[in-house]
Amino acid sequence: MIYLIGIGPGSKEYLTLSAIEKVSSSKYIIGSKRALSLFNIKDKEVFTLKNPVEDLKNTLSKINYKEETVAILSTGDPCFSGLLKTLLKLNIDKDFIEVIPGISSVQIAAAKLKISWEDYKIITLHGKKENLNKLLNYLKNKEKVIFLPNNLSEDAKFLLKNGINIDIWVLENLTYEDERIYKINLKDCINKKFSYLTICVYGGES
Ligand SMILES: C[S@@+](CC[C@H](N)C(=O)[O-])C[C@H]1O[C@@H](n2cnc3c(N)ncnc32)[C@H](O)[C@@H]1O
């Protein structure tokens, strides 16, 4: 059985009891270094993923997941821009997958800014450059948006080139000690470096 486990945004405080229990009862644990470091893992076979897509395929090919228990750790919630899609693309039979939901970066961002996220369009540009046009249309239509950037400097360049010049909230490293939350104009994003863990919000007043 494969337990696809959402680990939340990164701090241990946001792990669910179910995530902890499934990790402790699984024989194999697969995850990034960052994800693995959240758990007290003893007497398990551990596989560290560097490239989630390729490494996951190779690792799963070595494990008899129909007979044994495997925990796969996924950032935030696995069902939002996470490893569920990757797993299904590998044609794993759904009967052998149980998803343990986690707290998504979207939820943490909404909580930090005190906004009700049902009022927002949610979109990821993460590995989906084609969604930039969707984001552009949302912003042209003055929709409120929460988005995961692909490369925020490049994304900002694209939006500015297409006539969008707005201030956005940038939320970096949420729940970590170096968490940063600030408002910034897209023009100022162009020459700035952002953490891999960055989520953006347009329209949140707080
Ligand atoms: C592969 S996606 C996974 C999204 C994840 N499934 C979720 O529900 O948040 C990784 C992206 O999620 C966002 N993210 C995840 N954790 C974050 C955090 N602690 N702070 C800010 N953004 C985060 C960033 O945009 C990051 O590049």
pLDDT digits (tens, 9 = 90+) for 2-58: 999 999 999 999 999 999 999 999 999 999 999 999 999 988 999 999 887 788 999
Element (H, E) at 23: helix 17-25
Residues 84 and 172 in one domain: no
Which pLDDT tens digit goes with each residue over 145-158? 999 999 999 999 99
Residues 112 and 157 in one domain: yes
Ligand 1 pocket test target in 53, 75, 125, 171 with most atoms within 8 Å of CB: 75
The range of the structural domain enclosing residue 51 comes to 2-103
Of 103, 134, 149, the position where a domain reaches its end is 103
Residues 17 and 98 in one domain: yes
Contact predicate 139/166, CB 8 Å? yes
Counting the structural domains of the chain, the total is: 2
Of 51, 75, 103, the position where a domain reaches its end is 103
Residues 73 and 22 in one domain: yes
Strand order in the sheet with 28-31: 45-48, 28-31, 70-74, 2-6, 97-100
**Is 43 buried (19+), middle (13-18) or exposed (0-12) by CB count in 10 A?**
exposed
Domain containing residue 117: CATH number: 3.30.950.10
Percent of the chain whose predicted confidence (pLDDT) is above 70: 99
pLDDT value at residue 12: 97
Q: What is the DSSP letter of 140?
A: H
Residues 12 and 90 in one domain: yes
The residue contributing the CA closest to ligand 1 atom 13 is 197
pLDDT value at residue 32: 94
Sign of CA pseudo-dihedral 87, 84, 36, 96: negative
The atom of ligand 1 lying closest to the CA of 148 is 25
Of 74, 103, 132, the position where a domain reaches its end is 103
Residues 97 and 112 in one domain: no
Span from the CA of 128 to the centroid of ligand 1 (angstroms): 14
Residues 162 and 187 in one domain: yes
Residue 175: pLDDT over 90: yes
Q: Which residues, judged by CB distance below 6 Å to any ligand atom, belong to the binding site of ligand 1?
A: 9-10, 75-77, 80-82, 104-105, 126, 148, 171, 173-175, 196-199
Tokens of 15: 């792990």
Residue 116: pLDDT over 60: yes
Residues 79 and 135 in one domain: no
Stated pTM of the model: 0.95
Domain containing residue 22: CATH number: 3.40.1010.10
Residues 135 and 77 in one domain: no
